[in-house]
Structure 1
Amino acid sequence: MSTEYSSDILIVGSGVAGLSLALKASRFARVTLVTKKNRIDSATNRAQGGVAAVLSGEDSVADHVHDTLVSGDGICHEDVVRMVVSEGPDRIRELADLGVRFQMQKNGSTFELGREGGHSARRVAHAAGVTGNADLTGREIERALLARVAAHPDIEVLENHMAVDLLIASRAGLAPPSEDRCLGAYVLNHQTDRVETCLAKVTVLCTGGCGKVYLYTTNPAIATGDGVAMAYRAGARIANLEFIQFHPTCFYNQEITGFLITEAVRGEGGILLNEAGQAFMQRHDPRGDLATRDIVARGIDAEMKQSGTACVYLDISHKAADFVRKRFPNIYETCLRGGVDITKEPIPVVPAAHYMCGGVQVDTWGQSSLSGLMALGETSCTGLHGANRLASNSLLEAVVYADRAARKLPEILAALHKLPVPGTVQPWKTGGAAVIDEGVLISRNWDDIRRQMWDYVGIVRRTKRLQLMRERLTTLRREIKTHFYDYLLTPDLVELRNLVVIAELIVCSAMWRKESRGLHYIRDYPNRDDGNFLRDSVLDKSNMADLLDSI
Structure 2
Amino acid sequence: MNESEMYTTDVLVIGCGIAGASAALEAANRGLRVVVITKNANPAESNTYYAQGGIVSLGADDRPELLKEDIVETGDGINNPEAVEILSTEGKKMVDDILIDKLKIPFSRSSPDNLDYAQEGGHSRRRILHIKDTTGRTIAEKFISALQANPNVTLLNEHTAVDLLTVPHHSKNPRFFYNEAQCIGAYVLDNRTRRVKAIFAADTVLATGGCGAVFLYSSNPNWAIGDGYAMAYKAGARIVNM
Q: Which aligned segments of 4 or more residues in structure 1 are displaced greater than 6 angstroms?
A: none
* Structure 1: segments with no counterpart, 5+ residues: 128-133, 242-551
Q: Report the counterpart of residue 79 of structure 2 in structure 1.
A: 76
Which residue does the alignment assign to 2:237? Answer: 236
Match for residue 147 of structure 1? Answer: 145
The equivalent of 1:225 in structure 2 is 226
- The equivalent residue for 2:154 is 156
- 1:50 CA displacement: 0.4
Asked if the contact 2:45–2:140 (Cα under 8 Å) also holds between the matched residues in 1, the reply is no
- Does residue 61 in structure 1 map to residue 59 in structure 2? no
Q: Please say if residues 14 and 208 of structure 2, whose CA atoms lie closer than 8 Å, have aligned partners that are also in contact.
A: yes
2:75 & 2:215 partners in 1: Cα distance? 22
Aligned to 1:44: 48
Higher-strand-fraction structure: 2
Letter matched to residue 223 of structure 1: A
1:184–1:203 Cα contact (<8 Å) kept: yes
> Deviation digits for residues 61-119 of structure 1, max 9, x if unmatched?
111111111111121233431221110111111201212111123142x3210001111
| Residue type at the aligned position of 1:26 | A
Computing the radius of gyration from Cα coordinates, the structure with the larger value is 1
Shift of 1:5: 6.0
Distance in 2 between the 1:71 and 1:26 partners?
35
Q: Hey, what's the Cα distance between the residues in 2 that align with 1:164 and 1:186?
A: 5
Q: Is the 8 A contact 1:25 1:31 kept in 2?
A: yes
Q: 1:463 — aligned with what?
A: none
Give me the whole-angstrom Cα distance separating, in 1, the residues matched to 2:69 and 2:215: 31
Bigger share in helix: 1
> What is the identity percentage for the equivalent residue pairs of Structure 1 and Structure 2?
41
Residue-by-residue CA offset, 1:310-367 (whole Å, 9 max, x unaligned)? xxxxxxxxxxxxxxxxxxxxxxxxxxxxxxxxxxxxxxxxxxxxxxxxxxxxxxxxxx
Q: Which one-letter code corresponds to 1:179 in the other structure?
A: E
* Equivalent residues in 2 for 1:118-197, closer than 5 Å: 118-127=122-131, 134-173=132-171, 175-197=176-198
1:465-544 matches, within 5 Å, as none
RMSD: 1.6
Q: Return the alpha-carbon distance in structure 1 between the equivalents of residues 162 and 82 of structure 2.
A: 34
Structure 1 85/176 Cα, relative in aligned 2: closer, same or farther at 3 Å? same
Which structure ranks higher in relative contact order (CA pairs < 8 Å, sequence separation ≥ 6)?
A: 2
Match of 1:105 in 2: 110
CA distance in 2, matches of 1:193, 1:122: 48
Taking structure 1 as the reference length, the TM-score comes to 0.41
| Aligned-partner SS, 1:182 | strand
In structure 2, the residue matched to 1:88 is 91
Residue by residue over 1:487-525, the C-alpha shift from the partner in whole angstroms, topping out at 9 and shown as x without a partner, is: xxxxxxxxxxxxxxxxxxxxxxxxxxxxxxxxxxxxxxx
Q: For the Cα contact (< 8 Å) 1:5–1:201, is it kept in 2? A: no
2:24 alignment counterpart: 22
Aligned length: 232
Residue 22 of structure 1, CA deviation: 1.1
| Alpha-carbon distance change, 32 to 50 in structure 1, aligned in 2, over 3 angstroms | same
